């Protein structure tokens, strides 16, 4: 399998705070990689480094064989990477269709308006936004706005899709549907990294998972390996042996 | 997610039908064009010079407002010093005709080019600033260019330049010149409306709208924001520059205080806000409505001294109660009108 994305020793600091600390991993084409970790672990910051919103202080990011470290977000987007935002950012005064058209027209394919409108219609249909195509994006509810984020990213027809908590705030039925959607996106040949807090969903959908804690990569492996990894349990629950030690009166 | 289709083909197939593109409706360019032409033809029907002069002032405002709307309404950047393009274009054009003995056509071209070039330079320099900082710097640029010209001897320094009226003989004498320059202004106003429509409904325009709504999100989606903003600024500057060249040619003299009055910038903003920022028809109606109100105030015995106070109060009321302006309000109130009102 070819390596689509390689992150090498990436470090990002904000003043004295090291938000991402010497993180390295590889991503193969066609994979779904889960990125988990407690709140404030640096997951979104890592996304921002990968797609060019931040320039890391140290390390390199290679995408499709190119060193894209220090590229602007629009250059990264046009080179074939799309993302969604954890805090939704709809273009509120534009219609849903226009929002999705921006993704299609300015993304990896850089389509003309007419083609962008066709792709937008297709993607809205796929994500169940078709009836709301002519509504203003600002008038959607949160679940719909999440889907709009996904629609815009998908309309760009990227090689790599970064999903930042697309399941947060959805009810169980919506989560099940979104998981199916993510799998369907992968079947289209799009590689995915997803940040998620909904554990059963990410365990179910990911091929591999990496875990961040305090900016450091503490574990990497299949969902089963991660679920039983002592460092991961410690990061989420505190010391796993703590209860035993307390019980035995040490 | 009511219609889930997990097994779609690997690539998005293009639909067989041609979807309607947002804003592409003949009414969206025909309505503003009709208003501009209606206003433009009115003095020709009455045949009165005073009507023509009134309409000259009004159409000048239309060009200013429609052009300003490209950066203010489409892109979301408030240019407080937009009159700088009018003034610079005016000076450059005037200099070419009065000092260099060039034709009016060359002056119009040079005025537009000079304004566009200045916008390009400003754009590269300051369009990375956002919000209030950008607005403040545009005022500074206006004052800086004014101060420069006040000390620039080829442009006559603080006294400005005057034209020998014999220049007008080449255009059939002063009377014919006044008529001809009026036609040119009508043509420029038509050009402004068509440009505004073309930009608004183009891919470039969609990028500008996305910058207005959320610049960071636009960047992440692949909009090359520095380039798009700079070109929007250039496009919003060229026609004001040409109108400046036309206005001062007609005027017969140019001086710094006439060329760079800050209140003209602010009035243009009021016009855009009044009619509806980001729409094509809005600034046209806004400019016409504002000029009509201004004419009423200026000719009213009691109100003539507080004309600018009234426009200030008007801006305040618009921002407070109908920030979307007339057309924006109609589009929101009557969603069915969105197809034909832009």
Q: In chain A, pLDDT over 90 holds for what percent of residues?
A: 75
Exposed (0-12), middle (13-18) or buried (19+): which is A111, by Cβ within 10 Å? buried
* Residue for token pair 């574990």: A219
A195 plus A71 within the same structural domain: yes
Min Cα distance B74 → chain A (Å) is 11
**Secondary structure tally for chain B: helices H, strands E:** 14, 2
A68 plus A2 within the same structural domain: yes
A-chain residues near B9 (CB < 8 A): 188
Q: Is B16 on the interface with A (CB under 8 A)?
A: no
> Containing H/E element for A4?
strand A3-14
Q: DSSP 3-state assignment of B211?
A: helix
Helical H segments across A79-141, by residue range: 96-106, 113-126
Q: Is the dihedral of CA B272, B278, B280, B281 positive or negative?
A: negative
Q: How far apart are CA B142 and CA A235, in angstroms?
A: 58
A72 plus A92 within the same structural domain: no
Q: Is residue A224 part of a domain?
A: yes
A106-126 pLDDT, tens digit per residue, is 999 999 999 999 999 999 999
Query: Which residue segment(s) compose the domain that A220 sits in?
Result: 1-80+160-166+187-250
Which of B5, B208, B222, B337 would you mutate first to test chain A, the one with the most A CBs within 10 A? B222
pLDDT band at A21 (very low <50, low <70, confident <90, very high): very high
Report whether B265 contacts B142 (CB < 8 A).
yes
Q: Is residue A175 part of a domain?
A: no
Q: Is B5 on the interface with A (CB under 8 A)?
A: yes
Count of A–B CB contacts within 8 Å?
Answer: 138
A30 plus A85 within the same structural domain: no
Q: How far apart are CA B275 and CA B40, in angstroms?
A: 19
The reported pLDDT for the residue numbered A246 is 67
A196 plus A136 within the same structural domain: no
> Containing H/E element for B180?
helix B173-200
A75 plus A103 within the same structural domain: no
Across the range A11-25, mean pLDDT stands at 94
Q: Is residue A181 part of a domain?
A: no
C-alpha B277 chain-centroid distance: 11
Buried b (16+ CB within 10 A) or exposed e, A122-143: bbbbbbbbbebbeebbeebeee
Point out the residue among A53, A112, A157 whose CB comes nearest to the CB of B12. A157
Q: Which residue of B has its CA nearest to A144?
A: B1
Q: How far apart are CA B168 and CA B175, in angstroms?
A: 9
Q: Which residue of A has its CA nearest to B16?
A: A118
CB-based contacts of A48: which residues, under 8 Å, 6+ apart? Answer: A12, A54
Q: Which residue of A has its CA nearest to B10?
A: A188
Cβ of A156 within 8 Å of Cβ of B222? The answer is yes
A195-233 pLDDT, tens digit per residue, is 998 888 999 999 999 999 999 999 999 999 998 888 888
Q: Looking at residue A69, which CATH number applies to its domain?
A: 3.40.50.300
The reported pLDDT for the residue numbered A143 is 86
Torsion angles phi and psi, residue B321, rounded to 5: -110, -40
Report the residue count for chain A.
250
Point out the residue among B4, B206, B219 whose CB comes nearest to the CB of A101. B206
Cβ of B221 within 8 Å of Cβ of A107? The answer is yes
Point out the residue among B221, B224, B225 whose CB comes nearest to the CB of A102. B221
A111 plus A132 within the same structural domain: yes
Boundary-marking domain end, from A138, A158, A178:
A158
A-chain residues near B19 (CB < 8 A): 114, 117-118, 120-121
Torsion angles phi and psi, residue A213, rounded to 5: -145, 130
A-chain residues near B3 (CB < 8 A): 125, 128, 130
Q: How far apart are CA A210 and CA A15, in angstroms?
A: 26
What's the pTM value of the predicted model, to 2 decimals?
0.90
Q: Is residue B7 part of a domain?
A: no
A75 plus A127 within the same structural domain: no
The reported pLDDT for the residue numbered A240 is 63
Q: How many domains does chain A have?
A: 2
Closest CA to A170 of A197, A143, A201: A143
Q: Is residue A182 part of a domain?
A: no
Which residues of chain B fall short of a pLDDT of 50? Answer: 1-16
Beta-sheet pairing, A17-28 with A216-221: unpaired
A92 plus A73 within the same structural domain: no
Q: How many domains does chain B have?
A: 1
Beta-sheet pairing, B253-254 with B161-162: antiparallel
B-chain residues near A110 (CB < 8 A): 222
Q: Looking at residue B52, which CATH number applies to its domain?
A: 1.10.3470
The reported pLDDT for the residue numbered B15 is 45
Q: Is residue A24 part of a domain?
A: yes
Q: Which residue of A has its CA nearest to B209?
A: A94
Q: Is residue A99 part of a domain?
A: yes
Query: Which residue segment(s) compose the domain that B296 sits in?
Result: 26-332
Please give the structure tokens belonging to residue B293: 């109100």
A77-107 pLDDT, tens digit per residue, is 999 999 999 989 999 999 999 999 999 999 9
Helical H segments across chain A, by residue range: 43-50, 73-78, 96-106, 113-126, 142-155, 172-187, 199-205, 223-227, 230-237, 242-247
The reported pLDDT for the residue numbered B16 is 46
Beta-sheet pairing, A58-63 with A3-14: antiparallel
A76 plus A87 within the same structural domain: no
Report whether B104 contacts B97 (CB < 8 A).
yes
Q: Is residue A172 part of a domain?
A: no
A65 plus A113 within the same structural domain: no
Cβ of A98 within 8 Å of Cβ of B22? The answer is yes
The reported pLDDT for the residue numbered A210 is 95
Q: DSSP 3-state assignment of A194?
A: strand
A35 plus A52 within the same structural domain: yes
């Amino acid at each position: 399998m070819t390596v689509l994305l390689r992150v090498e020793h990436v470090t990002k600091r904000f003043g004295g705070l090291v938000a991402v600390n010497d993180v390295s991993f590889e991503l193969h084409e066609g994979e779904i990689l889960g990125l988990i970790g407690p709140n404030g672990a640096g997951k979104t910051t890592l996304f921002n480094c990968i797609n060019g919103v931040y320039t890391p202080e140290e390390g390199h990011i290679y995408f499709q064989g190119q060193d894209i470290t220090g590229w602007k977000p629009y250059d990264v987007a046009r080179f074939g990477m799309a993302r969604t935002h954890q805090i939704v950012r709809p273009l509120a005064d534009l219609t849903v269709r226009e929002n999705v058209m921006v993704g299609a027209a300015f993304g990896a394919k850089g389509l003309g308006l007419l083609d962008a409108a066709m792709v937008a219609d297709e993607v809205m249909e796929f994500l169940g936004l078709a009836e709301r195509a002519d509504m203003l994006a600002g008038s959607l509810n949160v679940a719909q706005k999440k889907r709009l984020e996904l629609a815009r990213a998908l309309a760009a027809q990227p090689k790599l899709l970064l999903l930042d908590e697309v399941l947060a705030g959805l009810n169980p039925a919506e989560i099940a549907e979104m998981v199916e959607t993510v799998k369907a996106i992968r079947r289209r040949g799009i590689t995915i990294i997803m940040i998620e807090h909904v554990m059963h969903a990410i365990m179910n959908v990911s091929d591999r998972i990496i875990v961040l804690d305090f900016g450091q990569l503490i574990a990497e492996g299949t969902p089963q390996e991660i679920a039983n990894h002592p460092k991961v349990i410690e990061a989420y629950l505190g010391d796993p042996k703590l209860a035993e030690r307390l019980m035995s009166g040490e | 997610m009511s219609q889930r289709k997990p097994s779609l083909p690997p690539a998005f197939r293009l639909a067989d039908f041609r979807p309607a593109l947002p804003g592409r409706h003949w009414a969206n360019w025909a309505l503003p064009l009709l208003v501009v032409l209606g206003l433009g033809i009115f003095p020709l029907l009455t045949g009165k010079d005073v009507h023509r002069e009134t309409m000259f002032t009004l159409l000048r405002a239309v060009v200013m407002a429609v052009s300003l709307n490209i950066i203010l309404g489409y892109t979301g950047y408030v240019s407080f010093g937009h009159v700088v393009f009018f003034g610079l274009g005016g000076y450059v054009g005037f200099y070419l005709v009065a000092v260099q003995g060039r034709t009016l056509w060359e002056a119009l071209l040079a005025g537009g080019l000079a304004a566009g070039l200045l916008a390009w330079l400003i754009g590269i320099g300051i369009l990375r600033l956002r919000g209030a900082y950008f607005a403040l710097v545009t005022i500074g640029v206006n004052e800086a260019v004014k101060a420069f010209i006040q000390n620039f001897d080829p442009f006559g320094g603080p006294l400005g330049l005057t034209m020998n009226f014999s220049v007008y003989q080449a255009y059939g004498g002063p009377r014919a010149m006044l008529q001809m320059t009026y036609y040119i202004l009508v043509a420029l106003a038509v050009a402004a409306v068509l440009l505004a429509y073309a930009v608004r409904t183009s891919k470039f325009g969609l990028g500008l709208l996305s910058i207005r709504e959320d610049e960071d999100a636009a960047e992440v989606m692949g909009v090359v924001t520095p380039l798009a903003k700079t070109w929007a600024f250039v496009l919003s500057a060229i026609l004001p520059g040409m109108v400046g060249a036309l206005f001062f040619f007609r005027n017969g003299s140019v001086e710094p205080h006439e060329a760079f009055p800050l209140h003209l910038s602010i009035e243009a903003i009021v016009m855009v806000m009044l009619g509806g920022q980001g729409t094509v028809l809005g600034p046209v109606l806004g400019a016409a409505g504002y000029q009509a109100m201004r004419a009423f105030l200026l000719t009213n015995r009691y109100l003539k001294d507080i004309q600018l106070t009234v426009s200030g109060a008007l801006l305040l009321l618009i921002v407070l109660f109908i920030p979307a302006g007339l057309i924006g309000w109609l589009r929101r109130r009557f969603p069915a009108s969105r197809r034909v009102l832009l």
